[in-house]
Amino acid sequence: MYSSPDFNFDPRFENPKELAALSRRGFLGRFLGGALAGSALLSLGTKPAHGAEAMNDMGAAAAPDDEKFWKLVTKQFLIRPDIAYMNTGTRGPSPRSVHMAQIDALNRINNDYVSFRRDFYTEEFADAFYAKFANYVGCNPNELALANNTTDGMITGTFGPVLEPGDEILYTNHDHGAGTNPVLNRAHRDKLNVGIIDLSDPKLHPPDSPDELLKAFEAAITPKTKLLSFCHTNYTDGLFMPVKEICEMARSRGVITLVDGAQPPGMVKLDMHDLGCDMYAGPSHKWMLASMQSGFFYVKEDMFDRIEPVISTTPYAGKDMYGNDLSTNERFLERMASAGKYTRRGSSSYPKWVSVNAALDFHNHLTPEGIEARIRYLATKLANGLRNIDGVEVFASEDPRLHAGLVPFRIKGVPTRDLNTKLWEDYNIYIRSVTHMAVNWDANRASMHIMVTAAEVDKILGAVAEISKSVNG
Ligand SMILES: Cc1ncc(COP(=O)(O)O)c(C=O)c1O
């Protein structure tokens, strides 16, 4: 049923010496779970992403510092080998299996526009996909809505809660516009108050402990606060908020929580139920490495009644556009009893969901824990290396509770944009900077995902040392 001549072919992994080398080093058995060895190894990039069968026989990733293993993983990416791509915090390039799954889906659709829906993107596929996705983020399938990106979920999560004029929405001044703009728009429209949690103190970049952040949140909540919108990981400094503790505290004060999860999915293992937030918006196009314009919106099941699907095309007040009562319509009832009611309706892109499905397979194959460990290893290597360079300030915390894959830093005397340009033009290294003058924030930011090799970390360290020396002596 599912075959594509191109999809099952990746000559880079047909090199028997490479396979033999891996085998000799003894982790083939562990990695592959036994017999399949040659053909299954690297089915990461060669097997169809449809259905769990593609990855069933394989186990976890190797140790985070096993360069040989991770080098093979980097070969799964289509990024040109001369480029060191370090900006997954903005957009994540897909590995081959994910890329090809999407292309293959597009090919199939444009081939006849009928059989794709009949044979492939079926109800069975969708059910399995939701179950897999929900399992990946740690929630029930009915708590998961598909979204176009983080912003999409933040809009629904901000406009959805039932609030009264005079109620307050609280957010932090390190939040992204995807969170703050919907808050300001809703506050204006519905005559709500807005409160800001001030995280601009340099002592908070990084703080000594997660407690300091919790205290800043706690101190800002007032009796009028009804909705708290904040980032799981700040896009500015890569700082992780103590989401679980913040949500527990907010809940005890009757405050609904909406988490901007633009950065963690695909970077660290997630568990919505453990985090305890009411809503969480995340992308699949960054660290999850799936198609552009894909993501998810989680709503805790016991919040379905308190969060309206206002920005959606779900029938209003239980009636269709002709006023017909839908209270016995099974499909309508099913949707209203799930986060599906928060999904915006209308035609979507099947290929992008096929790519997310393939991305979930890719992550599950290497395991979220294995990927997180490698990301942390690379980020620690980079942050420690930068700390040793004269003239460089590093804002990443050394506490793993506060930091994972984004490494913010600055070279004294070098404008952040100039550094991005220099690294790109002279060294083929791609990073970005984040400038947010309202909170006096201006730093370069490197993303450490699994397409980065340890050699590339050494390369950026060498480049930064050279540039810093040329300015700071
Ligand atoms: C913290 C944060 N929120 C929201 C966004 C917007 O994400 P998306 O493009 O998925 O809407 C970003 C993007 O970089 C981000 O870092």
Q: Which of the four pLDDT bands, split at 50, 70 and 90, describes residue 422?
A: very high
Residue 336 has a pLDDT of: 86
What's the confidence (pLDDT) of residue 442?
A: 97
Please say if the pLDDT value at position 56 is more than 70.
Answer: no
Query: pLDDT category, 458, cuts 50, 70, 90?
Result: very high
Element (H, E) at 299: strand 295-299
Mean pLDDT for the stretch of residues 76-89:
95
Average pLDDT of the chain? 87
Residue 4 has pLDDT above 60, yes or no: no
**Residue 452 pLDDT:** 98
DSSP structure class, residue 439: G
Kindly state if the Cβ of 295 falls inside 6 Å of ligand 1. Answer: yes
Q: Is the pLDDT of residue 423 over 90?
A: yes
Whether the CB of 329 sits within 6 Å of ligand 1: no
What is d(CA 385, CA 392) in angstroms, rounded to the nearest whole number? 10
Q: How much is the pLDDT for 45?
A: 35
- Return the domain boundaries, the chain: 119-359
Q: How far is the CA of 4 from the centre of ligand 1 (A)?
A: 34
What is the pTM assigned to this prediction? 0.88
Asked whether 231 lines ligand 1 (CB < 6 A), one says yes
pLDDT of residue 411: 98
Lowest mean pLDDT, pick from 65-79, 242-256, 286-300, 308-322: 308-322
Mean pLDDT computed over 252-258: 98
> Whole-angstrom Cα distance, residue 466 to residue 472?
10
Q: How is residue 259 written in tokens?
A: 């988490």
212, pLDDT greater than 80: yes
pLDDT on residue 48: 39
Q: Which residues contact 430 (CB under 8 A, 6 or more apart)?
A: 83, 84, 85, 86, 87, 423, 424
Closest CA to 300 of 324, 273, 331: 273
CA–CA separation, 393 and 290 (whole Å): 33
Looking only at the bridges linking them, the beta strands covering 279-283 and 295-299 are: antiparallel
Give the span between the Cα atoms of 60 and 195, in whole angstroms: 45
pLDDT at 40 over 50: no
Higher pLDDT, 51 or 109: 109
Instruction: Report which ligand 1 atom has the smallest distance to the Cα of 152.
Output: 11
At 337-383, the pLDDT tens digits run 899 899 877 888 999 999 999 999 999 999 999 999 999 999 999 99
Under CATH, what is the fold of the domain 119-359?
Answer: Aspartate Aminotransferase; domain 2 (3.40.640)
User: Is the confidence at residue 53, as pLDDT, over 60?
Assistant: no
What is the predicted pLDDT for the residue at 437?
Answer: 86
| Separation of CA 151 and ligand 1 centre (Å) | 7
Outline where DSSP puts E strands in 81-165. Answer: 84-85, 144-147
Residue type (1 letter), 421: T
Given a cut of 80, whether residue 10 has pLDDT beyond it is no
pLDDT at res. 60: 54
Query: Are the C-beta atoms of residues 280 and 272 closer than 8 Å to each other?
Result: yes
Per the listing, tokens 């480029």 go with 83
Which residue's CA is the nearest one to ligand 1's atom 16?
235
State how far the Cα of 353 lies from the Cα of 145, in Å rounded to an integer: 12
CA proximity to 424, closest of 85, 74, 77:
85
pLDDT at site 314? 80
- Distance in Å, CA 197 to ligand 1 centroid: 19
Inter-CA distances, 233 with 95, 143, 175, 298, Å: 24, 22, 9, 17
Residue range 157-181: mean pLDDT, rounded: 97
Contact 391, 146 (CB under 8 A): no
Helices (H), ranges, 166-242: 177-190, 210-220
